[in-house]
Amino acid sequence: MKVFEKIFKFNGGIQAKTKKNISTTSPIKQFGLPSKIILPLRQHIGKLAKLKVSVGDHVLKGQLIAEADGNVSAAIHAPTSGKVLSIEKQLIPHPSGLPDFCVEIEPDGKDKWVQIKPTNWKKIDLEKVNKLLLSSGIVGLGGAAFPTHLKLNHGKAENSLKTLIINAAECEPYITCDDMLMREKTNELILGIKLVHEILGVEESVIGIEDNKTVAINLLTKAIENEKNIFLKIVPTIYPSGDAKRLIYLLKGIKIPKSQRSSDYGIQMFNVATIIAIYRFLEFGEPSISRIVTITGNLRSPRNYEVLLGTPLKEIIDAAGGQVIKNNTFIMGGPMMGFKLPSINVPVTKAMNCIISSEPDMVEEKKPVLPCIRCARCAEACPVQLQPQELFWFSKSKQLEKAEEYNLFDCIECGCCSYVCPSNIPLVQYYRFAKSEIIEERQEQEQANIARERNEFRILRLEREKQERAERNALRREQSSNEDKTKLIEEKRKAIADALKRIEAGGEEQ
């Protein structure tokens, strides 16, 4: 371990109360089998997974329920054995509060595994590992749910990756699932890091961890004592140090420019839970069927649970003793970037890292929103060095082009600006609104372009058909000479005359 390597400090950020000790006093608990499993088909970024089962089917634990549709998608597996009860729209943990397609499974209690086999990842090339991972259903478990196999695309083939960064910062207040995972599965994590290290063919692996996780730091330091290429770097507890680009800067001093990826700079980053998921899949063949969720905040016994995906959240909240002060408000994710759940009747998904039962001061909107006084404290706090006050102005007045010009899309929605705003303006909500509008406009433009193309092609086609018909007719006219024409006319006249004769003859008979 190199001690002299320095930590670079990024601009802005905030130091909020971490409130992590609420959920770190007791170890991770296995939640066990819930009464029902509701698996949303949308648990990841990208296309909806393609269904592979139908109602009434009996599925085994780990069996494929839906496969990835294309490359930017992720598969979904049955978390336990049981019967497929229904496939219909149900409420999912999504800020919209709208229902989406879910597969409901009634567990049979046997929890019987489908046959799984470990992969010989040491012997196959990266491309094949990639294909396997596409079928594993593993997505980034830090909360973004980006399909993991896509991140391995820039591996050995180009031989460009040098550094693997393990994101163990977990900078948002309240969330402790990664911390507890590192404490309890230290060895598995190190094995996982070694595995991913080898697959990617990188030179070094760096674990970036915030200095408030002392227990995990001690355990990890001991575990990597004899590792030559794995380093632990302790970063100060400043939110949002866990943001990918911020952490890369903290650890390596490299600023990744807009529209470029860390892999262009030889760096790839994974969350600790994702590393363990990859390890468990490649070493034992276990697909992504469970995760650790921090259940914290205003609850009787907050703690971390290892739960099967699709477990109804309500059952977990009940197991945690329910709310101390009833307000029925729950936040998914951290208090900074999370969103209010539409209802507690939603299932656990791959993206669900933390559920906070709102504390009284989080619910009541005590502080009225005041006008912006242009104090620019948001600009000081912005870790991306944007001009939040300008972005706010443009988003509020719907000058979307202007907002884009001021790099709205570089905003990581970390919420530091809203946190420091003395006027209590919900700045991030404005940015999210503006981003949504711009994205929709772009999509509409794209659709319009396709419609224009199709319309133009149709006009062209009709024109061509008309021309071809005219040509054909002209050709026919040319081919049939005058002689033929008179002959044809005579033939027709004769036929008419014959017919008339027949009619006359018929009339006489009558």
**In the numeric block, which tokens belong to residue 382?**
């912005």
Among 15, 35, 96, 226, binds another protein (CB under 8 A): 96
Residue 402, interface with another protein (CB under 8 A)?
no
Q: Which is nearer to another protein, 460 or 470 (CB)?
A: 460
Q: Does the footprint of another protein cover residue 88 (CB under 8 A)?
A: no
CA distance 317 to 298: 11
Tell me which H or E stretch contains 194.
helix 186-200
Q: Which of 32, 201, 322, 426 binds another protein (CB under 8 A)?
A: 426
Nearer to another protein, 43 or 294 (CB): 43
Cα(408)–Cα(391) distance, integer angstroms:
7
For another protein, how many residues bind (rule: CB under 8 A)?
36
Applying the rule CB under 8 A, the residues between 44 and 83 that interact with another protein are 48
Q: Is 404 in the site for another protein (CB under 8 A)?
A: no
| CB crowding 418-448: b at 16 or more within 10 Å, else e | bbbbebebebbebbbebbeebeeeeeeeeee
Question: What gap in Å lies between CA 459 and CA 117, rounded to an integer?
Answer: 56
Counting contacts by CB under 8 A, is residue 397 touching another protein? no
Q: Does residue 487 touch another protein according to CB under 8 A?
A: no
By CB under 8 A, tell whether 218 contacts another protein: no
Q: Does 328 bind another protein (CB under 8 A)?
A: no
Write the interaction track for another protein spanning residues 349-368; mark x where CB under 8 A is met and - where it is not: ---------------xxx-x
- For residue 325, the minimal CB distance to another protein (Å) is 11
By CB under 8 A, residue 463 contacts another protein: no
- Other CB atoms within 10 Å distance of the CB of residue 298: 21
Task: Out of 397, 436, 467, 473, name the contact with another protein by CB under 8 A.
Answer: 436
Binding of another protein at residue 451 (CB under 8 A)? yes
**Residue 359 DSSP class:** P
Expressed in angstroms, the distance from the first to the final Cα of the chain is 119
The angle that helices 427-479 and 388-396 make with each other, rounded to 10 degrees, is: 60
Nearer Cβ to another protein (450/495)? 450
Which residues ranging from 2 to 21 are in contact with another protein (CB under 8 A)?
none
Minimum distance of another protein from residue 113's CB (angstroms): 31
Task: Report the run of H or E that residue 490 belongs to, with start and end.
Answer: helix 482-509
* φ/ψ (deg, to 5) at 439: -65, -40
Residues facing 7 on adjacent strands: none
Residue 450 or residue 499: which is nearer to another protein going by CB?
450
Is residue 99 packed enough to be buried (19+ CB in 10 Å), middle (13-18) or exposed (0-12)? middle
Closest separation between CB of residue 55 and another protein, Å?
21
Q: Footprint of another protein on this chain (CB under 8 A)? A: 42, 48, 92, 94-96, 98-100, 364-366, 368-369, 426, 429-430, 432-433, 435-437, 440, 444, 447-452, 454-459
